[in-house]
Chains A and B, each alone.
Chain A
Amino acid sequence: MYKVLKKEILAPSIKLFEIEAPLVARKAMAGQFIILRIQDQGERIPLTIADFDREKGAITCVFQEVGKTTRELGTLDEGDCVQDFVGPLGVPSDIDNYGRVVCVGGGVGVAPVYPIARAMKEAGNEVIGIMGARTAELVFWEDKMRAACSELRVTTDDGSYVRKGFVTDVLQEVIQEKGDIALCVAIGPPPMMRAVANLTRKYNLKTVVSLNSLMVDGTGMCGCCRVTVGGETKFTCVDGPEFDGHLVDFDELARRAVIYKPQERTALDLYNEKGGHKCQCGCGGE
């Protein structure tokens, strides 16, 4: 059993858990992920590592409540436990001194991009952070990102905070302003990562994206997470989760992401019917 040491509500439906898992924390690196299972009848879900504390033996994960499992996870409190927690899985980010690096986080993707930005800066890079959210109340970790980056720019889709625009708008400005950028790391919803990749392709700017494919075991055993990268089939769990954004087949990714949409709906409806939905965000279970 793995204890929830800390719980924070970062934004409506976005929650942070710090979970006690010393063996995972010892080895965790930026860019890797964990898989957890809440209880005996639960499913295994992958979550990207948002932070780790080796001394405390804890891993921080940030997740958005979208389906049954993430909703159920959100109902746990400090002191509660998840049944299973395994990691660190996947290949760590390739941290090096590239020169100038842009780290783009969209929505809940800000969380996994944070440790990468921090590591990039520690490696000597000038790190320009870009974080975007749909609206003001969904912005989180601005302070942490500011500390991790050499420079941070924030944007909201609706202009309710700092400025109006997508992360790609800001990225375009940064590229034009700074010119010489060695690497772009972008994590967020697949459409955002695709938009970033489409933009940077024009500038021949190498772009790394982190995929959140469906998974079962997370150790290369099932192939559920396969994705086409540069015409080759890769397993997100062991070959990724990071890939060259210019080579990822985002069409395929989007279609494979919704394989279980009807079942996910059934599970969520049933969960809500049973009174499982306890969040206080006023969303009424939607």
Chain B
Amino acid sequence: MTEKKKITPDKNPMPAQDPVERAGNFHEVALGYSEEAAVAEANRCLQCKKEPCRQGCPVEVDIPAFIKLVARRDFKGAIKKLKEKNALPAVCGRVCPQENQCEKYCTLGRKYEPVAIGRIERYCADWELANGALPQETSSPNGKKVAIVGSGPAGLTCAADLAKMGYQVTIFEALHIPGGVLMYGIPEFRLPKAVVQAEVQSLKKLGVDIQVNAVVGKFATVDELMGEYGFDAVFIGAGAGLPHFMRIPGENACGVYSANEFLTRTNLMKAYLFPDYDTPLRIGRKVAVLGGGNVAMDAARTALRLGAEESWIVYRRSKNELPARHEEVEHAEEEGVRFKFLTSPTRILYNDAYWVTGMECLQYELGEPDESGRRSPVPIKGSEFTIDVDTVVVAIGQGPNPLVPRTTKGLACNRRGNITADLETGATSLPGIFAGGDVVTGAATVILAMGAGRTAARAIDNYLTGK
């Protein structure tokens, strides 16, 4: 540290759309820092010697360095520094749970609010989007080919790293547009799709070839990619695409959606713009979203924007145990999402036409902590009651998509169907086949998947160069 400066105790506030207004539109909620706010926030950084923030970043961004450049208004330098380690800064600046990562370790955070690292990161990424992408440095081609299965955060990161090292990278994406969960799952109001596509474009500039409409396991198996397609290694980042249902009576009634379907129709297929876009979505008056994670918050907030009069989160534990980010819960509350805690449905009620008319639920109380450390919910006998809803969204989690594991002989998986991979390298039971992200860990965060993509890229390089 060079000079003593006066530190403001709180983060520079993030301007946001008014809650009432935004609950009626799909525009981005958080509006981003102005240049002044970004520089002021960067100046809150102590530039401390220990740099504890760096240990909290799964993709190893040199956080103090890029913040220092922002403080000097060298935004070009800052984004360059960020992109050395992070291929998707505009995405991470928006959806990373920084409070559990970099900002959790910030020295300033011991006394005051930590530096708003995520918001500064977003400012830099948006600065680049507004001012034209900078050229990126790559190594000369090394003649080796790597296939990436899936274009979500894990695949995109792995592809970017390998392309920079000189590999010829092809991404195979099952859907018609790259981005994976960034496109189909996370709503427009949290992560504008144009931002995701800008990041994808920047990947294409690195020379990465992206094949959409290509379902690995169908048009070609992983073995065939390694054989007749001539790839030297394959990275599987196929995500957690298999929706879990409650397995309760009435769950196939009309008006019951998996969160995946509800969000895919809205985000990927733009059902909120029907009939300008062809994909429909039927939203009722009263929507119940089952679950308490970020996906549940996304679904409940989406339901309001689609015109639901009431949008309820129905969660079997209490508010303290909600796995969603605090900020997401807060945003949902501000917008008018309501919560029914310690409640879980036992069956879904429907009419003669098979449409949802309500949900029979049980009241729960909290018992002893379970293996996750959270107090486990225990049903209260005889506490059945009915909630009047006409749409139910099941957001209790996703499993790994089985298409790739099912069609790859000898690929070891655990009992849940997740691909077994060494977390240090991403190596699977098959030589040359690596895996990472949700398909290995089960549904987690964007940044953890990116970290796994990075790890695997390094391991693939080691594998192919015989290190």
Hey, which bits of chain A sit against chain B, CB under 8 A?
Answer: 23-24, 26-27, 37, 41-44, 68-69, 83-89, 216-217, 219-224, 226-228, 233, 238, 251-252, 255-256, 259-260, 263-264, 266-267, 270
Chain A residue with Cβ nearest B276: A41
Chain B, range 244-261, C-beta contacts under 8 Å to A: 245, 247, 251-252, 254, 257-258, 260-261
* Minimum Cβ distance to chain B for residue A258 (Å): 8
- Of A84, A221, A266, the residue contacting B241 (CB under 8 A) is A221
Taking CB atoms, residues of chain A closer than 8 Å to B275 are 263, 266-267, 270
A216 B265 Cβ-Cβ under 8 A: yes
B214 A216 Cβ-Cβ under 8 A: no
Q: Return 25 A-B CB contacts under 8 Å, by A number.
A: A41-B273, A42-B277, A43-B278, A44-B176, A44-B279, A69-B278, A84-B213, A86-B215, A87-B218, A88-B219, A216-B261, A217-B175, A219-B174, A219-B215, A220-B403, A221-B243, A223-B245, A223-B261, A255-B254, A255-B354, A256-B254, A259-B282, A260-B282, A263-B274, A267-B274
* Minimum Cβ distance to chain A for residue B229 (Å): 10
B242 at the interface (CB under 8 A from A): yes
In angstroms, Cα B301 to Cα A271, docked, is 31
B222-251 to A contact mask, C-beta < 8 Å, 1/0: 000000000000000000011101010001
- Of B215, B269, B276, the residue contacting A216 (CB under 8 A) is B269
In angstroms, Cα B174 to Cα A84, docked, is 11
In angstroms, Cα B261 to Cα A228, docked, is 18
A223 B260 Cβ-Cβ under 8 A: yes
* Minimum Cβ distance to chain B for residue A81 (Å): 13
B402 at the interface (CB under 8 A from A): yes
B138 at the interface (CB under 8 A from A): no
In angstroms, Cα B260 to Cα A222, docked, is 5
Given contacts A221-B264, A267-B280, contact A226 B252 (CB under 8 A): yes
A220 B214 Cβ-Cβ under 8 A: no
B214 A23 Cβ-Cβ under 8 A: yes
In angstroms, Cα B261 to Cα A256, docked, is 14
Taking CB atoms, residues of chain A closer than 8 Å to B176 are 37, 44, 83-84, 86
A221 B218 Cβ-Cβ under 8 A: no
Hey, which bits of chain B sit against chain A, CB under 8 A?
Answer: 174-176, 184, 212-215, 218-220, 241-243, 245, 247, 251-252, 254, 257-258, 260-261, 264-265, 269-270, 273-280, 282, 353-354, 401-403
* Minimum Cβ distance to chain B for residue A246 (Å): 19
Chain A residue with Cβ nearest B398: A221
A222 B254 Cβ-Cβ under 8 A: no
In angstroms, Cα B282 to Cα A226, docked, is 17
| Given A27-B220, A256-B354, 10 other A-B residues pairs in contact with their CB atoms under 8 A | A41-B278, A44-B279, A222-B243, A222-B258, A222-B261, A222-B264, A228-B252, A233-B247, A238-B402, A256-B254
* Minimum Cβ distance to chain A for residue B211 (Å): 9
B258 A223 Cβ-Cβ under 8 A: yes
* Minimum Cβ distance to chain B for residue A51 (Å): 18
A27 B354 Cβ-Cβ under 8 A: no
In angstroms, Cα B324 to Cα A118, docked, is 53
* Minimum Cβ distance to chain B for residue A13 (Å): 19
In angstroms, Cα B220 to Cα A26, docked, is 9
B254 A259 Cβ-Cβ under 8 A: yes
Taking CB atoms, residues of chain B closer than 8 Å to A217 are 174-175, 184, 264
Taking CB atoms, residues of chain A closer than 8 Å to B282 are 259-260, 263
In angstroms, Cα B213 to Cα A26, docked, is 15
In angstroms, Cα B275 to Cα A183, docked, is 44
B218 A89 Cβ-Cβ under 8 A: yes
In angstroms, Cα B288 to Cα A14, docked, is 41
In angstroms, Cα B276 to Cα A220, docked, is 26
